[in-house]
Each structure stands twice: as C-alpha cells, then as structure tokens.
Chains A and B, each alone.
Chain A
Amino acid sequence: MGKTDRITERQLSVLIFVSLLSPMIRVLPTAAVLFAGRAAWLSPVAALAAGALFLAYTRWTRKNAPEDMGLADMALAGMGPVVGRIFNILCALWLTFYGGFLARAAAERLLATVYPNGNTPVFVVITLAVAVLAGSGLTKTLSRTAEVLMPILVGVIAVVLLSAIPEVTSENLLPVTYRDTREILYGALPIFNVITACVYFLFLTGHTRRPVSQRPNRFPWLVLLALTAFGVTFFTLGTLGENLAASMENAFFMVIRNIKVFGVVERVEAVVVAIWIVTDFIFLAAVLMIVSEIWRTVTGIKKRSFFVFPTAALSGTAAFLIAGNAFEFQKWSDLIVPAINLFFAVILIPGAMTLGKLRRRY
C-alpha cells in the first residue's frame, strides 16, 4: 500500500459523510414518512443511536487490525484465502452493481426535477466519466475534494432549509406521542440502512493513518448526517404534510421548488439539484475506488487504477440494464437495493469482521 496515499480517520469520515448525502436525499423523507407518518422527523434521532452502536461495533472489530490493513485484507486474514476471496469478490460484484445504481439514481433525479426533456444516458455517462477520473486518482485527493465540498453542501442545505421555515406548519408535524415510538423506529430503518453503507469504506482503511490520540466511539460525521436527515425530513414534512410527502418521489426537491432566496432567485431547485450531483460523483468515485481496492487485493496486481475503468464500464452497463423505465427503477430503489444493502452492510461484512476477530486474526 503506497505510503504517500494516506488519509486521516477524519478525512475518511468527511468522505463518508459527503458520499452518504446522496442516498440520504434519495430515501428521505418519503421512506421515513411511509413508515413513521407524521412522526418521521424524529426518526433520524433513532437512526443516530442505532448508527452509533453499529459504528462502535465495527470499530471494535477492527480495533487491533494493523494500520495498513483494509477490509479486503482483513477478510483474507480472518476467513482464509479461499473464503476470504469469495467474500471479497461478492462485495466487489455488489458494489459494482451499486455503482451503476447510484449513477442511474442521479440521472433519474436530474430528469425528474430539472431536465424533464433530457435523456438518462447523457447523465449516466457524464457521472461515470467524472467518477472514473476521480476514482483512478489517489484516495487522499478524493478525500480532500470531499473536504472542500462539504462546507459548500452543508451551507447550501442550511440556507435552503432556513428559507423553508415560513412554509412549515406545526399541524403537519404534531402531535407526536410516546405511542409513536414504534413508528419512529420503523422510520429510522431506511435512514439506518443508508448509514450502514459506511462499512463499504472500511475497504479503504488500509489508506488511513490512525490518529495519535484516538477518541473511541465518537462519530461527528454521523451526528451531522443525522442532523441533515432531521432537517430534510422536518422541513419537507412540515411543508407538505404526511400524505403529500409520502406520495412524492422527490419531495425534498418539490419543497425547494417554492423557495425564494432574498428575492434574488425565485426557485433554487436547479442549483441544489446540480450541486447535489457532486455527492453522487464523490460516492461513485469512492465505490469505484473501493471495488478496485478489492480487486487489487484479490488479484495481487499492484496498480489499483487498472481496475477502475472496467468497473465503471460494468457499473454503466448495470445502470442501463437495471430498469427499463422510472417505475421499475423506483421498485429497485425502494425495495431491492435497500434489501441487498442491508444484507451486505449489516449481515455479511460485520459477520466477516466478527469471524476474524473471534479467530484472533487481527
């Protein structure tokens, strides 16, 4: 592993945060509202707690792993060369598909919101091309890109949400009682599902430097992500109401369609949707990087960038084949992909890490 391509744990956190903003906006608030109804705005709090526990567990499992050991290496060490390789290949295949899904989701969002007369392939190809450019570079460059973009993204969403305050009505948000706890927890499930995608980034931990003073189990990025999820759900639900929000595919972008910023611009959805594509670029580039990292470990070929373009080509193919139309894609987006993600991120990967830990391989 190149000693020059090192990032800090904090940089990895920022990379995860920026990457997960993309699926977060796709899922929220519709999925949370479908489960939790009017109380969905509290679901991010529950998701934060569950996410923190999940992250604490994954951190514990890799506590004693050497600094330059990524998840792919850990799998080989923990499960042996054969099973470890199978595990790695499975993860690589899933993430290749997931990359295609991300590219397609970004394209569908652009079509549904700003470019109604556009075509999916243009957006998919451009998104993949940018991701290949970033994915074939260094991990630290991608992390730094995320670092530069994070304040812009957070700033934009903060301005947008603050501008939406006059539209929010308490009738759409209240009442919420302790009896809604179950619904709130159900609503937390899709958010938790998004958060769990952070385990894929463990494949990049071979590039991280351990901090000198490690403060265990503190995840500021998770708090910020939960805060963003809370803001998006709160303002969208408060503006549209439970039923209307649940019936929309891009409820958040419908809300920002009405936002005027200081009378200078009337509608900001074009800007927000365009800026949000940056999170797709980052996540997709990270996914390509992760998959290449896995193939590098599996095959022993040192040059990681060798795998980026073929992975992107496969992801692109998946993006075009995944669904013939937006209705089918919605099915994938709502059900199939979250279910597979849950299997990989919550069962398979933590399971593999636990196995290695129990066998005292790291």
Chain B
Amino acid sequence: MKKYLCLILALIPLLSLSGCAGLSIFSNYRQLENIELVRAVSLDLSDGGVNAAIYGTAGEESPARMYENPGPSVGVALGELILTPLGREAILSHTESVLIGQDLAKTGLRECLDYVERFSETRLDTDILIVRDGSARDLLAGLSGDETSSADVLSGLGKNISRLGEGYFFTCREIASSLAENGCALIQCVRGVKEEKLFDARGELDLESAGFAVARDGVVTDFLSDEETLGAMLLLGKYRSGNLDLPLGDQTVTVSMDLVGTDIAPRFDRDGALTALDITFDFRANVINLSGPVEITDSSVRRTCEEELTKIMTGAATAAVEKSRALGTDFLDLEGAVERRAPIKFRDMGADWQDVFLTLPVRIKGTSVLARTYDIADPPELSGKEDKSPWEKLTELLKDS
C-alpha cells in the first residue's frame, strides 16, 4: 500500500503544477522578473471614491514608476492596480508607507487600515501618514526624482523627525491597536514643500513633518500644533531625543535632549474618587550649541536654561492635555496610564472616565538638568572673559556644589 501512497504523494504536486480542476496553488506563483515592487502607496479622495497610486520599481537599475487608478473603494482601486499597464504584477509586500490624503482621512480611515490589515501581502508595520495641504498622490510624485525614490525620502524623514523629536511615524498596527483600545489614535502628518533643490536629480518637493492628526472612531477630526505634538509625544513616551533652542537673553542655547522620564500619578480621595492627576517629568539635556557669549559653566546661567527647558516642555504637555480635553478625546491614553498605576482604585472609581477626564485637574511639573557641554566647557573667546586660574575654577566649583 505504501508504494501506491508514495505514488499518490508524488503525483499530487504534479497535479497542482498542471493547474487542472482548479486545484492548483500555482496561482500563488509569480515570476520575479514580472514583479513591480511597490514601496509606497497613496490614497486620495476622488469623485465617488478613492484614487489609489502606487510607486513601484522593477529593479535597481529600472526607473521608479507611478501608477494610479480611481475606484469606488480602496480595495477595488488598489486591486486593479496590481496588474499594472506594463503587464507586471505589483506586490505590496514591501510597502513601507501608505500616504492618505487629508480629505480622505477626514471621511474615514477604517477602510485604509482594514485593507492593510486584511490583505495578506501588506505588513502591519507599514507607516500610515496623512498628507496635509495637498494630495497624497502629488506628494508621492513630487518627492521622487531621477536619483531619489519617494519611499527613501519618506523613510529618511521618519528617522529624522524621530531623532529631532518633531514627530513619530505610527504604524498601521499601532494605529489599529489604539483605535481598538481607546477609540482614538494619533497619526503623523506630512507636508510637501517646494524648496530650492540641493541637486538636480532630486524631486520637485521636499518633505516636512506637519504634526499629528487626531483620529476618533476611524475618522480624522483635528490636527495638533507643533507644541501639542511635542506634548503628545512626551506623554505617550514617543519622545526619545531632540534638539531645542532655549532663549537666554539675546542669546540662544541649543540643547539636545538626552533622557525624558515621565511619571503619571493619579490622586484619589478617601471615597475613591479621582481628584487629580500629577504628571512629573524629568528631563536631561546636553548643550550642543551656544549662539554667542554665554557663560554656560556658571551654575546660575545653567539654572536659567534648565528652567526655560522645563517651561517649554511642561508647556507643551499642558497644551496637549488641554487639546485632548477640548476635543473630548483621550488620545494621550491617560486612562490607560491611570489604570496601570492604580488598577484597583481605577476600577472601583465607578465614574465614567470620559466625564472624569474632562474636569480632572491635571498638574504638570518638571525638573531639568543640563548634564554636559561636550568638552568645550566655557571657552574665553565666547564668554568674553579672561581665562580663570585653576584655583579660581576650583573655588567656583566648591561654591557651586
């Protein structure tokens, strides 16, 4: 019997090769050379539906191409694009970013997210971005030049704004998870700007961060300013590094954020009611640039800088909390923070978080420390003073401590 079984086993793959009787899994087969590798997708609102555009490439040497197609839905528009006009098969498995036009985002994000989640080719860690002041398609087209690919520009911006603390590229998984958990989510916005070209082979447009958009129940309802975006990043723990200019009289001290510690502590009264929310930040930054003569080793100067830093950061956090309350949307997930900090008291609280949140006093405090100045402590040519003797420096140091 085993002989026959082995024969059957050997024949089954051949059967699937033949494609007869509709039994084939060969329909999953794609020839590499016929593949159009899609790295970025744009979705815009069009008359009666969605205009989808894909940015594909057929190899290292081949020029990147853009194909677009309108359709009544995201699925139809993109589905028709899979067989591109050149007869190549577009695959979305390597899609890094999905750009969604502002207008489409305002009418609904769910369909876009659902497509990315459901389609077997796309990945959940695809970046979802909302394009402000223009269409996503135009941005995608404008970013690519002879030697630059829009996908690379987008990916570069993602890394840069994260490093500079100007924004954060939320992935489809993060957005979908946040919408499922909180009913709201933040999404990074980008904007195309026309600037003088650094080199000819570059695209027509440059890309910049445009803050966060707030999505509620799958629809973008509002946008955050730069300050609110910074505050939101601080409270969501997405702010890991960034540069800040601190005004100091006529001069400016530029610091690079090194460490941000956030503590969200709910305060309950004896009856178990939530009375306040204390948010405390600990900032640590390093001086990276002085615009003019600033005696940065002077402790009082540093203290002034530290206070300024605290003011800017806590101000941003306050602005974000206020915006969140104004929109009636807990996009900062303060509910989750409270629940994690005091899970039992939170559950016993009884009241609806939405009601509590709108009137809850939120006290935001912070402390900042300038940690180092990277070797050049206080050069005389900048401070304008004569160099101090080692004895004077030691006395000053002891006095400070």
A–B touch (CB < 8 A): the answer is yes
Taking Cβ atoms with an 8 Å cutoff, the residues of A that contact B are 112-119, 121-123, 125-126, 129-130, 132-133, 136, 167, 170-172, 174-177, 179, 239-244, 247, 254-255, 257-258, 266-267, 305, 309
Q: Which residues of chain B from 1 to 16 have a CB within 8 Å of any chain A CB?
A: 1-2, 5-6, 8-9, 12, 15-16
Q: Residue B240 at the A interface, CB < 8 A?
A: no
Asked if A244 contacts B123 (CB within 8 A), the reply is: no
Chosen A-B contacts, 8 in total, with CB atoms closer than 8 Å, are: A117-B28, A119-B25, A129-B9, A133-B5, A167-B125, A244-B176, A254-B124, A267-B123
Q: List the 7 closest A-B pairs by CB distance, nearest first.
A: A243-B180, A175-B343, A118-B25, A241-B177, A117-B27, A258-B125, A116-B120
Q: Residue B227 at the A interface, CB < 8 A?
A: no
Docked pose: A309 CA to B4 CA in angstroms: 12
- Which A residues are in CB contact (< 8 Å) with B176? 244
Q: Residue B221 at the A interface, CB < 8 A?
A: no
Q: Residue B286 at the A interface, CB < 8 A?
A: no
Q: A237 to chain B: closest CB distance in Å?
A: 11
Asked if B9 contacts A305 (CB within 8 A), the reply is: no
Q: A115-B25, A115-B28 are in contact. Are A133 and B9 (CB under 8 A)?
A: yes
Q: Residue B93 at the A interface, CB < 8 A?
A: yes
- Which B residues are in CB contact (< 8 Å) with A179? 343-344, 347
Besides A116-B28, A129-B9, A254-B124, 15 new A-B residue pairs in contact (Cβ under 8 A), listed by A number = A114-B28, A117-B25, A117-B28, A121-B23, A126-B12, A132-B5, A133-B9, A167-B173, A171-B336, A175-B340, A243-B181, A244-B180, A257-B123, A257-B124, A305-B1
- Which A residues are in CB contact (< 8 Å) with B2? 133, 136
Interface bits B81-96 vs A (CB < 8 Å: 1, else 0): 0000000000001100
- Which B residues are in CB contact (< 8 Å) with A254? 117, 124
- Which A residues are in CB contact (< 8 Å) with B48? none
- Which A residues are in CB contact (< 8 Å) with B15? 122
Instruction: From B1, B2, B120, B180, name the one whose CB has the most chain A CB atoms within 10 angstroms.
Output: B120
Q: Residue B339 at the A interface, CB < 8 A?
A: yes
Docked pose: A174 CA to B28 CA in angstroms: 40
- Which A residues are in CB contact (< 8 Å) with B177? 172, 240-241, 243-244
Q: Residue B24 at the A interface, CB < 8 A?
A: yes
- Which B residues are in CB contact (< 8 Å) with A123? 25
Docked pose: A174 CA to B346 CA in angstroms: 13
Q: A351 to chain B: closest CB distance in Å?
A: 36
- Which B residues are in CB contact (< 8 Å) with A122? 12, 15-16, 23-25
Q: Residue B333 at the A interface, CB < 8 A?
A: yes
- Which A residues are in CB contact (< 8 Å) with B173? 167, 239-240, 244, 258
Checking B5, B123, B339, B343 against A129 with a beta-carbon cut-off of 8 angstroms, the contacting residue is B5
Q: Residue B350 at the A interface, CB < 8 A?
A: no
Docked pose: A117 CA to B177 CA in angstroms: 28
- Which B residues are in CB contact (< 8 Å) with A119? 22-25
- Which A residues are in CB contact (< 8 Å) with B1? 136, 305, 309
Residue ID in chain B nearest A258 by CB atoms:
B125
- Which A residues are in CB contact (< 8 Å) with B8? 129
Asked if B120 contacts A113 (CB within 8 A), the reply is: yes
Q: Which residues of chain B from 178 to 213 have a CB within 8 Å of any chain A CB?
A: 178, 180-181
Q: B178 to chain A: closest CB distance in Å?
A: 8
Q: B11 to chain A: closest CB distance in Å?
A: 10
Q: A174-B340, A258-B123, A258-B124 are in contact. Are A118 and B181 (CB under 8 A)?
A: no
- Which B residues are in CB contact (< 8 Å) with A266? 93-94
Asked if A171 contacts B25 (CB within 8 A), the reply is: no
Q: B102 to chain A: closest CB distance in Å?
A: 25
- Which A residues are in CB contact (< 8 Å) with B347? 179
Q: Which residues of chain B from 21 to 67 have a CB within 8 Å of any chain A CB?
A: 22-25, 27-28
- Which B residues are in CB contact (< 8 Å) with A239? 173
Asked if A133 contacts B23 (CB within 8 A), the reply is: no
Residue ID in chain A nearest B22 by CB atoms:
A119
Q: A114-B120, A117-B28 are in contact. Are A267 and B12 (CB under 8 A)?
A: no
- Which B residues are in CB contact (< 8 Å) with A257? 123-124
Asked if B123 contacts A247 (CB within 8 A), the reply is: no
Docked pose: A240 CA to B175 CA in angstroms: 10
- Which B residues are in CB contact (< 8 Å) with A132? 5
Asked if B25 contacts A130 (CB within 8 A), the reply is: no
Docked pose: A266 CA to B123 CA in angstroms: 10
- Which B residues are in CB contact (< 8 Å) with A177? 343-344
- Which B residues are in CB contact (< 8 Å) with A117? 25, 27-28
Q: B155 to chain A: closest CB distance in Å?
A: 14
Instruction: From A119, A125, A244, name the one whose CB has the most chain B CB atoms within 10 angstroms.
Output: A244
Q: A316 to chain B: closest CB distance in Å?
A: 12
- Which A residues are in CB contact (< 8 Å) with B27? 117-118
